[in-house]
């Protein structure tokens, strides 16, 4: 048995035991349900202008860092794809509304305060900071794409994903302190302060899937095709939510016993882990447990020749020369 598999066999049961202990010791929150539909009632929290403006500015600056790096790649390599990967994060704000409705998230908004209302979908008004928030996440998508472009070892991919998960926990716990959004309903796996940990199975894997698809099909996503990332990225995140979040959505919107609620949250985490393995196996064409594997120089995971020469409508001459 490899060290990676041995660590999984030891670490997973240990995490489950700790998670159940923490949630078992926490007092169960009182959840108000709508009498007509039997769903958790949304909170009615105030819109705090200073916090929203500050978070919007901060996340915009984070997103601009990815845009600047993408522009550098454009100037140096004459490829639009890295820039579009960075910009594609902002498009995730559209499916975000559906995740919020199913997953029990409320964003305070205002029609009168600055940056208080950006768009409304399915009756949910969303503030501008969530657009800036996902725009900021685009910088992480760019970083993942740039790392994949360097042909890292599989061990590095594990570390990348673990870092994205840990970063998501830290990031959200900080943002939640500013009251720019609130979780409600019967949320499983609240292990630290406010963040239900089942969410960390969704966002990191979803953005990684988008970055991995951009990398795998980079020769086809050049020139006029690069803006397809504005669709691929939100679809990737929505795909991962659809594959992982259903058990937790059932828990959030129900009045289930504590063991069942936590088990459903843990199932989402298991599905998120399985999704990461599938991304490595199916999109990147690697054995996820062969930690020392890295593509040979000049080749990608599928064995094709790697090139940074830009594609054109007539094809990629450098790629065709190498293939020949």
pLDDT digits (tens, 9 = 90+) for 134-143: 999 999 999 9
Q: Cα separation of 168 and 249, whole Å?
A: 19
Of the given ranges (30-39, 202-211, 216-225), which has the lowest mean pLDDT?
A: 30-39
pTM given for the model: 0.84
Q: Confidence band (pLDDT; 50, 70, 90) for 317?
A: very low
What are φ and ψ of residue 181, in 5° steps? -160, 165
Contact 109, 126 (CB under 8 A): yes
Is 212 a domain residue?
Answer: yes
Number of domains in the chain: 1
Q: Cα separation of 51 and 251, whole Å?
A: 30
pLDDT at 7: 67
Using DSSP's 3-state secondary structure scheme, residue 145 falls into helix
pLDDT at 292: 87
Is 2 a domain residue?
Answer: no
Q: Confidence band (pLDDT; 50, 70, 90) for 33?
A: confident
Of the given ranges (10-14, 98-102, 256-260, 262-266), which has the lowest mean pLDDT?
A: 10-14
Q: Confidence band (pLDDT; 50, 70, 90) for 291?
A: confident
- With a cut of 50, say whether residue 320 has pLDDT above it: no
pLDDT at 313: 40
Instruction: Give the contacts of 291 (CB within 8 A, at least 6 positions apart).
Output: 2, 3, 4, 153, 154, 155, 158
What are φ and ψ of residue 33, in 5° steps? -115, 145
Q: Confidence band (pLDDT; 50, 70, 90) for 298?
A: low
Q: Cα separation of 194 and 104, whole Å?
A: 13
- CA distances to 163, 211, 285, 286 from 290, rounded to whole Å, are 19, 21, 12, 8
* Residue 59: its H or E element: helix 49-77
Of the two residues 214 and 294, the one the predictor is more confident about is 214
Is 214 a domain residue?
Answer: yes
Is 1 a domain residue?
Answer: no
Q: Tell me which residue range forms the domain holding 82.
A: 8-317
Residue 95 has a CB neighbour count (10 Å cut-off) of 21
Stretch 220-224: mean pLDDT, rounded? 91
Stretch 158-183: mean pLDDT, rounded? 91
Using DSSP's 3-state secondary structure scheme, residue 135 falls into helix
């Amino acid at each position: 048995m490899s060290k990676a598999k041995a660590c999984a066999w030891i670490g997973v049961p240990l995490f489950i035991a700790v998670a159940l202990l923490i949630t078992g010791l926490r007092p169960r929150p009182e959840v108000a349900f709508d009498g007509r539909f039997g769903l958790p009632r949304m909170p009615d929290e105030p819109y705090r202008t200073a916090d929203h403006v500050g978070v919007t500015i901060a996340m915009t600056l984070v997103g601009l860092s990815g845009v600047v790096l993408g522009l550098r790649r454009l100037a140096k390599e004459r490829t639009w794809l890295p820039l579009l990967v960075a910009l594609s994060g902002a498009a995730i704000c559209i499916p975000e509304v559906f995740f919020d409705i199913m997953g029990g998230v409320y964003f305070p908004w205002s029609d009168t305060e600055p940056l208080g209302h950006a768009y409304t979908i399915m009756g949910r008004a969303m503030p501008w900071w969530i657009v800036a928030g996902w725009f900021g996440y685009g910088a992480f998508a760019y970083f993942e794409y740039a790392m994949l472009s360097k042909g890292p070892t599989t061990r590095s991919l594990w570390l990348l994903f673990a870092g994205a998960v840990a970063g998501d926990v830290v990031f959200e716990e900080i943002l939640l302190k500013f009251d720019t959004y609130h979780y409600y309903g019967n949320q499983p796996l609240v292990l630290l302060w406010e963040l239900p940990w089942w969410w960390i199975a969704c966002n990191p894997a979803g953005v990684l899937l988008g970055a991995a698809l951009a990398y795998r099909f980079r020769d086809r996503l050049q020139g006029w095709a690069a803006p397809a990332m504005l669709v691929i990225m939100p679809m990737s995140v929505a795909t991962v939510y659809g594959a992982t979040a259903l058990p937790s959505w059932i828990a959030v919107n129900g009045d289930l016993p504590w063991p069942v609620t936590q088990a459903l949250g843990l199932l989402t985490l298991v599905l998120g882990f399985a999704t990461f393995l599938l991304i490595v196996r199916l999109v990147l064409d690697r054995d996820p447990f062969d930690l020392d594997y890295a593509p040979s120089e000049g080749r990608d995971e599928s064995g094709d020749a790697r090139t940074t020469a830009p594609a054109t409508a007539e094809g990629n001459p450098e790629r065709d020369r190498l293939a020949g």
